[in-house]
Amino acid sequence: MANKKQWRGKTILHVDINSFYSSCEEIKNPSLKGKPHAVIMTPQDSNNITKGAVTTCSYEAKKFGIKSAMPLYKALELCPNLILHAVDKKFYEKISNEVMEILEDYADIFEQASIDEAYLDCTNKISTTDLMVGEYAQEIKKSIKEKCGGLLTSIGIAPTKSVAKIASDYQKPDGLTIIHFNELKNFLNPLDVEAISGIGIKTQNILKEQMNIKTIGQLSNTDVQILIERFGKKVGTWMWQVANGLDNEPVLPRRNHISLSNESTLEFITYDKEIIKQSLYELIDELYERIKNNKYQFRTVGIKLMRTDFSVETREKSYIKYQYERKSIESLIEELLDKFNLEDNNLVIPSRNITKKFLPIRKVGLKVSNLIAIEKSNKDNEYKQMTLLDYC
């Protein structure tokens, strides 16, 4: 561990609230502490959960092998005495807001990344204290624990956002991992490439199976031109920079939403287009209310379908001009839904010798993006009666 006088570069913290949803349930009911319990994505209430999937679970439940996205029946096979809770999003958001307010006070620049994680650029604030970076992080952990019902956090500290994120995942729960500039390569090299946030399953498979690049060290030693040729200039360069600890993405405050969305789990899994369409229509009012409350206009409407194997498919369409009316969302749903395969059949890809089974739908989502605040938009962008030319 290095003190502040030895620190080189920016001081960036990634703060992750451990097992957040489950920890929130322990705030509501402290008797849950030390017991295996899980928050279930289900349309049912907490007193009658018979179907659904695990969103998060306590560390005691994880010891039984329970994981996020696991079907409920499988989780109960592993732990018959598992205590179940339905998602209580409003309560989780309330606790999240309390945590984020604390974190913002510790940061020069604060960026909330999700409901349970945030990046803090603390370069200047730490320099004005007599604390070492680790002591500063411990102050943050202590403040959250005392003010937010005993919540535990894992914090990663590094000169870059990407390494700070990797470091926060390194020790859980209640971890603190500090990576000094001179330690970046030694820390990163032995780690699996999937440790890099932003490298998804598809990219992992290409790196590992087709290019024989399994560790971050191997990735860092790969000619950047080879990565650019395979993944494109932007992604290839980014991966190489992260692997070498050279990326310089800044911590940026997110004052406005990038998109607004909501979702719903279907009562029964289905291929029925009409049932799926009706479920999407039922999401419109709540989403449109949020659009109005935030005084946004939007250009893009998208829908998301989750199949029973938890694979997610999305389709979206954009208007040329910004929109503000409810019917601008409703009018695109059926068209977007027609772009999905909603039949119980197989797709054969002869060239790859692959047969893909289309599974039924278990969850739907609705989203608007390409947002702009009304007070910032030009009069030319304001809503006008739709015509065929408004579509692209």
Residue pair 141/174 in contact (Cβ under 8 Å)? The answer is yes
Which pairing describes strands 176-178 and 153-158: parallel, antiparallel, or unpaired? Answer: parallel
Mean pLDDT of the chain, nearest integer:
88
Reply yes or no on whether the pLDDT at 253 is more than 90.
no
- Model confidence at 230, pLDDT cuts 50, 70, 90, reads very high
Catalytic residue numbers read 117
Reply yes or no on whether the pLDDT at 352 is more than 90.
no
**29-88 topology per CATH:** MutS, DNA mismatch repair protein, domain I (3.40.1170)
pLDDT digits (tens, 9 = 90+) for 277-309: 999 999 999 899 989 888 899 999 999 998 888
E strand segments, the chain: 12-17, 37-41, 53-57, 83-86, 109-114, 117-121, 153-158, 176-178, 259-270, 296-307, 312-323, 346-349, 354-357, 361-369, 372-373
Which pairing describes strands 346-349 and 354-357: parallel, antiparallel, or unpaired? Answer: antiparallel
Reply yes or no on whether the pLDDT at 33 is more than 60.
yes
Say which CATH architecture domain 191-253 belongs to.
Orthogonal Bundle (1.10)
Say which CATH architecture domain 259-390 belongs to.
2-Layer Sandwich (3.30)
Q: In whole angstroms, give the CA distance from residue 57 to residue 62.
A: 7
Reply yes or no on whether the pLDDT at 233 is more than 90.
yes
Q: In whole angstroms, give the CA distance from residue 236 to residue 215.
A: 16
Task: Name the DSSP class of 210.
Answer: I
pLDDT digits (tens, 9 = 90+) for 164-219: 999 999 998 999 999 999 999 999 999 999 999 989 888 999 999 999 999 999 99
Query: What is the helix, strand, coil percentage profile of the chain, to 5?
Result: 40, 25, 35
Q: State how far Cα 75 lies from the chain centre.
A: 23
Reply yes or no on whether the pLDDT at 256 is more than 70.
no
CA distances to 127, 202, 207, 250 from 242, rounded to whole Å, are 26, 18, 15, 13
Domain spans, the chain: 29-88, 191-253, 259-390
- Model confidence at 370, pLDDT cuts 50, 70, 90, reads confident
160 compared with 351, residue with greater pLDDT: 160
Reply yes or no on whether the pLDDT at 392 is more than 70.
no
Going by C-alpha positions, the residue among 10, 7, 5, 6 that lies closest to residue 247 is 10
């989403």: which residue's tokens?
287
Q: In whole angstroms, give the CA distance from residue 214 to residue 190.
A: 9
- Model confidence at 145, pLDDT cuts 50, 70, 90, reads very high
